[in-house]
A and B are shown apart, each in its own frame.
Chain A
Amino acid sequence: MVIFEMLSWWYARGWNIFIKKLRTTLSNTVDFFSMNSLIRTLFKPYRQISAETAGANSSLDLRFHMFLDRLISRFIGFFSRLILLITGSVIILVGGICSLTLILLWPIIPLIPIAGVILTITGVTI
């Protein structure tokens, strides 16, 4: 009886819950890698290290120095964010594919024991 109860849940609410759980995991991964922040601040200077701006009366030399400083900081920021963005994206992508596969495989999981019986009977070995 318990098995039937479990199976009826498996193909109804269980499937739904499983999808929700995977979605939560993916959402947590997105949050962990700060994907939203990374995209929004992709070109911002790293840690605002050279955030100072030249004043209106600053010399051309100083202005150029500031500009260069800021450019380097932006480059470091962009590079470090890009690495995180790529790493996060790969993990999310792999996670997403695995999740989708599991969602699709979900209905046939209860059939695995039957497959086991068949394979045993047919005498398949590796």
Chain B
Amino acid sequence: MSSAFNSKNPRVRKARQKHSYNNPFMIVLNFILLITLLGGGLALLYIHSSFAWLLIGFSIIPLMMLFWIKNDLAEIPIVSSNDFTDLISENLLLLLNEKMTPANLVEVLPKTPGGAFIMARFGLTIPFFEQVLPFLPASTEPIYNSAKTIREKTNSAEITGSVLVVAVIENLPNYEQLLNQLKLNIIDLYRGISWFNYLNGIVKNSKKPVHSGGIARDLAFGYTPTLQHFAINLSDRYTGANYKIQQAENAEIIQKIIHTFSHDGRQNVALIGAYGSGRSTIVNSFAETLMNADSKIPNNLKFRQIYSLDAPSLISAASNQSELEYLMIKILNEIYSAQNIILCLDNAHLFFEEGPGSVDITNLLVPIIEAGRIRMILIMDHQKFLEISAKNPALANSLNKIMVNPSNEEETLKILMDRVPYFEHQKNVVYTYRALTEAYRLSEQYIHDIEMPGKAKLLLESAAAHANNRLVTAESVQTAVEKSYGVKVKVAEDTKDREKLLNLEQLIHERMVDQEEAVSAVSNALRRAAAGVKNQNRPIGTFLFLGPTGVGKTELAKTLSEVYFNGETNIIRLDMNEFVSASDVSRLIKEGASDALSLTAQVMKQPFSVILLDEIEKAHPSVLTTLLQVLDEGILRDEKNREVSFRDSIIIATSNAGANTIREKISAGESITELKEEIINDLISNGEFKPEFLNRFDEICLFKPLSKEDLIQVLDLIIASTNKTLANQKISVSLTPEAKQILIDKGYDPKMGARPMRRIVQKTVENIVASAILSGAAEAGSTLTITPSEINIT
């Protein structure tokens, strides 16, 4: 059949008629004609004129016209054939013509709702299409052919503007490469078509009347004044409304609930799943099903209303346990008498344990649950269910458990697509498709307390605050994550940031000397992270620095923190000689409220940071075992069993183990590279570290002892640091080469590294400067030059 547009198709004619007649002017004109003819006819009838019949008779014509316009011309359905014109949506019928070129087609597509939708949501802008115009096919026929295939692939009822936009793209040579540039693929565009169809369906559905049971629906059901006071009626909003909330995703679970409540046996359902997994949505969806008279459900469930008991208001209303039990009995009696209530206990554990905001009324509830005379839905998470099961096995056995698992990527995207119109309405923004996929990806990575789809919804909602010109893009979602969780998720795009990353080694060497291997290793790790090529399920980098004292191991960690992690303060430093017993493991994972300096508390607060584990060899083996998971997967659970992510941290462990061997072998002329394997083997054979621990590090870097030549640079860096301190007083200090040589001779100690040099500078240079300032010899703007004669080392 034809793949060309045919302007003689009856649908096109109908569309022209619709355009001409189904408009406010014609409708008002017909009304005026009807009233005039009918009114005139009745008036003539009153004065006994036979012309009255003529006018009354002809008044039927505008009436028929109105009926025809409002019905036949209301919508132009597609015709089931394989002809392109029969299959296109009615808004395209008047926009297309037979002489149309692909370029003309591209011009008209943004004028259709589907075209505009897909172009806005996928960033397929007009300039994008202008750029690809020369590469489009010569005629529209291949595009129309593709449109027919896409319609079938996406199960679309008709060929809409969105289908045609995708068809245009599919007809571009190397379209996959083009889409890659927009971080999209053709499957994403197909999902976009389904998204448009779904939203279009909701709009059409909302116009259909919903049978809600009528005026006498609740006559046979009792009054529940106490329940109304302490519970929220979830069914209220669904009376006569057509929400159709995520029914497809939850259909299986809803069927299970319907089956449980419509058959004899225990009349309860325990929805067990993590927070955010959609348990409340299922209850709402079930409430909507029950309130729709057209739902295919048993009569004994129709128009049953779900009330969610508000535990805090119930507890606050009762002054003691017996009063609370009295209230609860009153509520349960009302529910039993009313016969149309399903009681929902959200966070059901609040009714089975003592604590702030919760109360243990197990003894009251268990017999009722077991008897099964009141329908109940209990919502709780896995952990709480296990706790309740351990405490009260009878209760656990009497519950009909339904597991609510977190949604996968496909399901989450569908749920987000369903929620987006509500967010857009509330926040007056427009979300792009990439914002949705990014919300899924980043929430999976950074939000650990909530499950899918809840966490993706949460992130998408918060991204609205970072919209650019009311458009919420992937970047808005990234900014929301960066602002909320203090991490860097954007691939370095800013020129300044890129420059910094490309010259990281140089920047680090402004603060420390040599140790090229280690400097290069950490710089490469950061560049990989910033370019988005690092493994997302591991920390940015994990390094073990081995070497003698004072050679720059800790200094490198501090420098890195200052150069890239927004200041030296963004370093989480743990002296591992404070973790020498097995019981110290608990100090690593303590909750923030009880110990703000525990490793998990600090990382939770500041995930984007350098973690320095100083003198790791001194830590107890149990502590090292605990750290294995951090080094491997970037995850550690705190004492409350919450996952803490280390995936945005760079972990540096330092150790002096093997320092003597390194020093001796390097002095004997061996190279660092040759030495590394030998040192690692020694550490394992000496029992200093277990192989599985060493194996977890991305790189083990050996720090070589500082030579006298290195020390010249160290001295320069120390003097530069002194000058930085003096900068406020506008005084600077310099040393003559001879004076420098004296300090180097005195400060050089291969065993101690750079530390003695720092002490020497303190004793000499800083003392000289202090005396000069106090005696008035050094004034603002002056430079003190220190000569050998001034240096007095005892």
Binding site for B on A (CB under 8 A): 2-3, 5-6, 9-10, 13-14, 17-18, 24, 27-28, 31-35, 37-38, 40-41, 44-49, 51-52, 77, 80-81, 84, 109-110, 112-120, 122-126
B604 within 8 A of A: no
- Are A13 and B214 in touch, CB under 8 angstroms? no
**A50 CB to closest chain B CB, in angstroms?**
9
What are the residues of chain B within 8 A of A119 when measuring CB–CB? 50, 53-54, 57
- Are A112 and B60 in touch, CB under 8 angstroms? yes
| Stretch from B122-130, B216-224, B431-439, B483-491 that touches the partner | B216-224
Bound Cα distance A114, B60 (Å): 11
Cβ < 8 Å to A, chain B residues 348-367: none
Bound Cα distance A3, B58 (Å): 13
- Are B50 and A6 in touch, CB under 8 angstroms? no
Most chain B beta carbons < 10 A, residue from A13, A28, A112 = A112
- Are B68 and A10 in touch, CB under 8 angstroms? yes
Cβ < 8 Å to A, chain B residues 45-72: 45, 48-58, 60-61, 64-65, 67-68, 71-72
What are the residues of chain B within 8 A of A10 when measuring CB–CB? 64, 68
Bound Cα distance A104, B338 (Å): 47
Bound Cα distance A58, B67 (Å): 67
B213 within 8 A of A: yes
What are the residues of chain A within 8 A of B54 when measuring CB–CB? 116-117, 119-120
**Residue of A whose beta carbon sits closest to that of B48:** A125
- Are A112 and B57 in touch, CB under 8 angstroms? yes
**A51 CB to closest chain B CB, in angstroms?**
5
What are the residues of chain A within 8 A of B51 when measuring CB–CB? 120
Q: A-B pairs with CB below 8 Å: how many?
A: 126
- Are A37 and B219 in touch, CB under 8 angstroms? yes
Bound Cα distance A53, B53 (Å): 69
Bound Cα distance A124, B209 (Å): 45
**Residue of B whose beta carbon sits closest to that of A21:** B71
B215 within 8 A of A: yes
- Are B72 and A9 in touch, CB under 8 angstroms? yes
Return the contact of B299 from the options A5, A40, A115 (Cβ within 8 A).
Answer: A40
- Are B215 and A34 in touch, CB under 8 angstroms? yes
What are the residues of chain B within 8 A of A18 when measuring CB–CB? 67
- Are A48 and B50 in touch, CB under 8 angstroms? no
A110-B71 contact in complex given A48-B222, A125-B48, C-beta closer than 8 Å: no
What are the residues of chain A within 8 A of B293 when measuring CB–CB? 31
Return the contact of B213 from the options A37, A47, A113 (Cβ within 8 A).
Answer: A37
Chief secondary structure at chain A's binding surface: helix
- Are A44 and B220 in touch, CB under 8 angstroms? yes
What are the residues of chain B within 8 A of A112 when measuring CB–CB? 56-57, 60
- Are B50 and A77 in touch, CB under 8 angstroms? no
**Residue of B whose beta carbon sits closest to that of A27:** B211
Enumerate the 5 nearest inter-chain pairs by beta-carbon distance, A residue then B residue, closest first.
Answer: A116-B57, A48-B222, A34-B214, A119-B53, A34-B216
**B238 CB to closest chain A CB, in angstroms?**
15
- Are A109 and B220 in touch, CB under 8 angstroms? no
A48-B220 contact in complex given A9-B72, A117-B54, A123-B50, C-beta closer than 8 Å: yes
- Are A31 and B212 in touch, CB under 8 angstroms? yes
- Are B214 and A110 in touch, CB under 8 angstroms? no
B549 within 8 A of A: no
Bound Cα distance A110, B64 (Å): 8
**Residue of A whose beta carbon sits closest to that of B47:** A125
A6-B220 contact in complex given A113-B61, A119-B57, A120-B54, C-beta closer than 8 Å: no
A47-B223 contact in complex given A17-B71, A31-B213, A37-B213, C-beta closer than 8 Å: yes
A34-B53 contact in complex given A47-B221, A126-B45, C-beta closer than 8 Å: no
What are the residues of chain B within 8 A of A81 when measuring CB–CB? 216, 219
B693 within 8 A of A: no
Excluding A31-B211, A32-B215, 17 further A-B contacts by CB distance (< 8 Å) are A2-B17, A5-B17, A14-B68, A14-B72, A24-B209, A28-B209, A41-B219, A45-B220, A47-B220, A48-B220, A51-B222, A109-B64, A112-B56, A113-B61, A115-B53, A116-B56, A125-B50
